[in-house]
Amino acid sequence: MLPLIHSRYNQVVKIRELHRWDVSPTEAVKIQRTLAAQVSRRNELSKPRYIAGVDISSGRAIDTATAAVVVLSYPELVLVDSSVIQIETTFPYVPGLLSFRETPLVIKAYEKLKKEPDLILVDGQGIAHPRRMGFASHLGLVLDKPTIGCAKSLLTGEHDELAEKAGSYTEIIDNGEVIGAVVRTADGVKPVYVSIGHRVDLPAAIHWALACCREYRIPKPLRLAHQAAYSSLKSGKIT
């Protein structure tokens, strides 16, 4: 079993030390391939009390970013906790390796939370990734939490045409493997791309992504995290 490290800010939060973060892109690819085998695709979630949303926004300088984690009660979807930090990034922007750039930032925001979520929705890919190790899966392993990838675009794989009705979905297939689903969250709007992060199965990932959509295309935890990452939270403009 990998060691658990208590946060220096919050003794409730535990972080798994999976690997070093100061690695080269070549080393990062090797780590991804190793970690992919550790992702649980079995649903371990029943009814969450708190659901978090995670988003990252880049600053004007290429070496800075803002990480936001918001926690909402469920089923009310009322904001109960949040953490926003702006920090320098140390890993270069490399497509397919964004989790090495973004996960350390989210950890710093996450460990300051006072309420620990039962489920985390991530603005990014889970196993719908060329090496089956996107941001949502990487974060899920580090935090040992159920996570779901909910991206705005397709990274890899193919899918059939999607019906226009809310709740419709079709599988994403890559090399004969089901790696996610294209999900219509509201009638006639652009879909979102849902995939297993960690400790959920695909039906559960689809269910919770849809359950968190209230009037908007994007699930509410992610919509609020996006606002927070762009400083709306600090000005009190989250709704």
CATH of the domain at 45: 3.30.2170.10
- Residue 222 and residue 150 in contact, taking contact as beta carbons nearer than 8 Å: yes
Query: Mean pLDDT for the chain?
Result: 88
143 burial level (CB within 10 Å; 0-12, 13-18, 19+):
buried
User: Would you mind telling me the total number of residues written for the chain in this entry?
Assistant: 239
Place 134 in a pLDDT band, splitting at 50, 70 and 90: very high
Of 3, 30, 29, which Cα lies nearest the Cα of 14? 3
Q: Which residue has the higher pLDDT, 41 or 12?
A: 41
String of b and e for 24-56 (b: at least 16 CB within 10 Å)? eeeebbebbeebbeebbbebebeebebbbbbbb
Greatest Cα pair distance in the chain:
48
State the average pLDDT over residues 200-220.
Answer: 94
Assess whether pLDDT exceeds 70 at residue 28. yes
pLDDT at 225: 94
| 28 occurs within a structural domain | yes
Q: pLDDT grade, residue 62 (50/70/90)?
A: low
Task: Answer whether residue 204 shows pLDDT above 90.
Answer: yes
Q: Rounded to an integer, what distance in angstroms lies between the CA atom of residue 71 and that of residue 107?
A: 14
Q: Is residue 10 part of a domain?
A: yes
- pLDDT over 90, % of the chain: 72
What pLDDT sits at residue 9? 43
Share of the chain above pLDDT 70, in %: 89
Confidence (pLDDT) at 57: 85
In a domain, 163, yes or no: yes
Rg (CA), the chain: 17
Averaged pLDDT, 187-215: 95
Any idea which of 58-72, 113-127, 139-153 has the lowest mean pLDDT? 58-72
Q: Residue 180 domain-assigned?
A: yes
In a domain, 8, yes or no: yes
pLDDT exceeds cutoff 70 at 110: yes
Is residue 234 in some structural domain?
Answer: no
Indicate whether 36 belongs to any domain: yes
Instruction: Give residue 154's domain range.
Output: 4-229
Distance (Å, whole) CA 199 – CA 203: 12
Number of domains making up the chain: 1
Mean pLDDT, to the nearest integer, of 15-32? 92
Cβ contacts of residue 231 below 8 Å, gap of 6+? 66, 84
Q: What is the mean pLDDT of residues 7-16?
A: 59
Is residue 8 pLDDT above 60, yes or no? no
